Amino acid sequence: MRDTPFLVVDVELLEQNLAGMAAHARRLGLALRPHAKTHKTVEIARRQLAHGAVGLTVATVAEAEIFADHGIDDLFIAYPVWAAGPRAERLRALADRVRLRVGVDSIEGVRMLAASRAVVTVAVEIDSGHARSGVAPAEAAAVASVALDAGLGVDGVFTFPGHSYAPDRRAAAAADEQRALQTARDGMLAQGIPCPLVSGGSTPSVEHTAPGLLTELRPGVYPLLDAQQWELGSADPGRIALTAHATVVSRRGRRVIVDAGNKALGADRLAFATGFGRLPDHPEARIVALSEHHATIELPETAAVPALGTVLRLAPNHVCSAMNLADRVVAVHPDGREEEWAVAARGANT
Amino acid sequence: MRDTPFLVVDVELLEQNLAGMAAHARRLGLALRPHAKTHKTVEIARRQLAHGAVGLTVATVAEAEIFADHGIDDLFIAYPVWAAGPRAERLRALADRVRLRVGVDSIEGVRMLAASRAVVTVAVEIDSGHARSGVAPAEAAAVASVALDAGLGVDGVFTFPGHSYAPDRRAAAAADEQRALQTARDGMLAQGIPCPLVSGGSTPSVEHTAPGLLTELRPGVYPLLDAQQWELGSADPGRIALTAHATVVSRRGRRVIVDAGNKALGADRLAFATGFGRLPDHPEARIVALSEHHATIELPETAAVPALGTVLRLAPNHVCSAMNLADRVVAVHPDGREEEWAVAARGANT
């Protein structure tokens, strides 16, 4: 028996999710390079590779270092890394021991990277509608050209269609992604720059990915899933493999408070969310308030109000945030065996 | 030189904030028992005690254990602890080595606590308008009476006027707090139950605390402060002692992206917030979007757009969340000396 709150990975559901995405990528004929920022966990990374992933995507040099320390040797930092200060030396050391691809989205960034003398290839980040980092599709060739002139290998282009995080925009985001990557790739080819890599994908949009253009998919959330994917319509609640176990500590009327707050679940709440997470076993319940150590759960008239001391399972809104709050998770195997998995890259932000 | 992002504590501002709140409590004639969930840091806790705090408030048994391990021996777990499973034994062991007060807000919770045989006193939590945990003021005496019958010492009553987190409700929340605590205390006295402890306070409301009724203040955020306190009007931006240092990695038009996302800052955003944090050195800027490793900062026409590679200082919306994401922070002393402080109770949720 463990004191709540703690995070539980259902290994059977995890395996089903891993197998499902691997099959989807195979059907499309695409390489799968899952984003490991979701789980930050060596055990899950190894399972992704066992299901045929070609390598991992990560967000930071620190994440890459940790997965490299555990023998994972093909990594893509899908982020416009600014290779200054100690980071330049870290990149150089990392590139000496793994195959490393790095994102770029500016000429200045390319020049910093080249100056670091890290032996990496680059991929140019394209903004396909999420309006975050990335250049406009038509600008990709200019950045790639500077990279080639600076002596860096250019793999191609990538994007994150993050505007897929809206229930009615999943298919449209996939179409935007396709269009933006096509423009970027065509622009490179028109300049005589080869573009073997065309990389995209997000968990909400990936079922709408069309075959023919993309060569690589980088979804992150799919192994574990969360309340956001449930409410987006991209995952059935029965597939959510990561839940927080929490105890009812206070009760009043149709509301109970459990001891998992935003320091366990994360505070993420996108506009479409019905609350601060969901309860897979009580789909009628809503998490109406969340503070650091309190989640306030409201039950409708039709549902029984759980007694004090009851342990409930909560799906966080955003599993990437919840995993990044935990030093370890409890993995429950199909035979009931429990194991602790370290969230090895927790907090690896640099 | 350090790779961004990282958190920095300005020790001079920290000391000013500590001294200011200590003086405020002294002026009111109240004991100060700061909530350590904000900083989770032994070095800051010791400074609070040096400024005259009577002990610490914490949110969890795990936080209490960690501060006890560092010699802090008077602790209040201001939370309706459910003393089941391993937690019962942990409470018992903890109460053997420190003076321990525990929150209760139900008769069942009191009975679990008594059954644990932990040598603790209790304080009854009152809901003063925040609508989270806590009993109605008139119910305090009933819970206290059960505690006494069960052989637990009763210190008195406490509340958290968390509805002070709205710019126009700070004074009103303090008045609600006063009224609720008065009713609860009077109810206990009417039943012949002594109520030496009347504990309240939150950083936004504490300047409105009236003398005469309360005996103890438990603000948390005041040593470090954050963008929420700035936007609430309870702190000048020049007093914010904790900032994330982050590098501009991408730039487009009047927007820049820095490498501190919600995995460094936290995702908290209350209704009144103008964005996902603020920049104390650029009050005109807004953090218009935040994802795991990207903060998107928008500058008005009147401001220069920082160059790629520029390091900016960001005040998180909620410092408690940001501290709980970091394993350590950089403390910068007035003489420029830098020191790393461990966030010792990071992740201590159980």
What backbone torsions phi and psi does residue A280 show, to the nearest 5 degrees? -55, -30
**Separation in Å, CA of A337 to nearest CA in chain B:** 20
Q: How far is B27 from chain A (nearest CA, A)?
A: 30
- Pairwise CB contact (< 8 Å): B85 & A3: yes
pLDDT value of residue B1: 86
| Shared domain check, A123 and A18 | yes
Residues B39 and B84 in one domain: yes
Pair A195, A302 in one domain? no
Strands (E), chain A: 6-10, 31-32, 56-58, 74-80, 99-104, 121-126, 153-159, 197-200, 216-217, 242-252, 255-258, 286-290, 295-298, 311-314, 328-332, 338-342
Query: Rounded to whole angstroms, how far apart are CA atoms B257 and B220?
Result: 31
Nearest to A320 among B86, B249, B292 (CB): B292
A3 and B251 in contact by Cβ < 8 A? no
Distance CA A125, CA B22 (A): 51
Complete DSSP assignment for B159-196? E--GGG-STT-HHHHHHHHHHHHHHHHHHHHHTT----
Decide if pLDDT at B347 tops 90.
Answer: yes
Average of pLDDT values for B154-181?
A: 97
The length of chain B, given as a count of residues: 350
Average the pLDDT over A21-31 and give the result.
Answer: 98
- The count of domains in chain A is 2
Per-residue CA distances from B136 to A309, B184, B199 (Å) = 21, 8, 15
3-state secondary structure B289-305: EECCCCEEEECCCCCCC
Would you call B293 and A262 a contact, using CB atoms and an 8 Å cutoff?
A: no
Per-residue pLDDT tens over the stretch A127-185:
999 999 999 999 999 999 999 999 999 999 999 999 999 999 999 999 999 999 999 99
The DSSP result for A42-67, as a single string, is HHHHHHHHHTT--SEEESSHHHHHHH
Domain for residue A196, yes or no? yes
Q: Record the pTM.
A: 0.98
Give chain B's mean pLDDT: 98
Are A174 and A234 in the same domain? Answer: no
Single residue among B174, B198, B220 that ends a domain in this structure: B220
pLDDT for residue A291 is more than 90: yes
B60 contacts A87? CB cut-off 8 A: no
Distance between CA B306 and CA B251 in Å, rounded? 8
Is B338 a domain residue? no
Q: Is B349's pLDDT higher than 90?
A: yes
Residues A191 and A252 in one domain: no
Mutation target among A2, A165, A293, A312 for the B interface, most CBs of B within 10 A: A293
Q: Please check whether residues A239 and A210 belong to one and the same domain.
A: no
Are B170 and B281 found together in one domain?
no
Q: Measured between CB atoms, which of B252, B291, B308 is closest to A109?
A: B308
What's the mean pLDDT in B293-310? 97
Q: What is the DSSP letter of B237?
A: G
Q: Does the residue B346 lie in any domain?
A: no
- Residue of A91, A105, A132, A320 for testing the chain B interface, max B β-carbons within 10 Å: A132
Vertex B323, ends A41 and A76: CA angle to 5°? 35
**Average pLDDT in the B131-157 region?**
98
Residues B207 and B234 in one domain: no
End-of-domain residue from the set A199, A220, A241? A220
DSSP secondary structure of A270-323: -TT-SSS-B-TT-TT-EEEEE-SS-EEEE--TTSPPPPTT-EEEEB-S-HHHHH
User: In terms of residue numbers, what domain contains B273?
Assistant: 229-317
pLDDT value at residue A22: 98
A154 and A281 belong to one structural domain = no
Tell whether A255 and A198 lie within a shared domain.
no
Indicate the residue of B106, B251, B324 with minimum beta-carbon distance to A263. Answer: B324
Q: Does the distance separating the beta carbons of A324 and B325 come in below 8 Å?
A: yes
Same domain, A164 and A44: yes
CATH number of the domain bearing residue A277: 2.40.37.20
The answer to whether residue A1 scores a pLDDT higher than 90 is no
- Judged by CB atoms closer than 8 Å, whether chains meet at A260 and B347 is answered as no
Can you read off the two tokens belonging to residue A321?
A: 């945030």
- As separate numbers, helices (DSSP H) first and strands (DSSP E) second, chain A gives 10, 16
Inter-chain residue contact B247 with A84, CB threshold 8 Å: yes
For residues A181-194, b (16+ Cβ closer than 10 Å) or e, as one string? bbbbbebbeeeebe
Q: Which of A4, A133, A318 sits opposite B350 (nearest CB)?
A: A4
Q: Is residue B112 part of a domain?
A: yes
Q: Is residue A207 part of a domain?
A: yes
Q: Do B347 and A326 touch (CB under 8 A)?
A: yes
pLDDT reported for residue A265: 98
B98 with B204, same domain?
yes
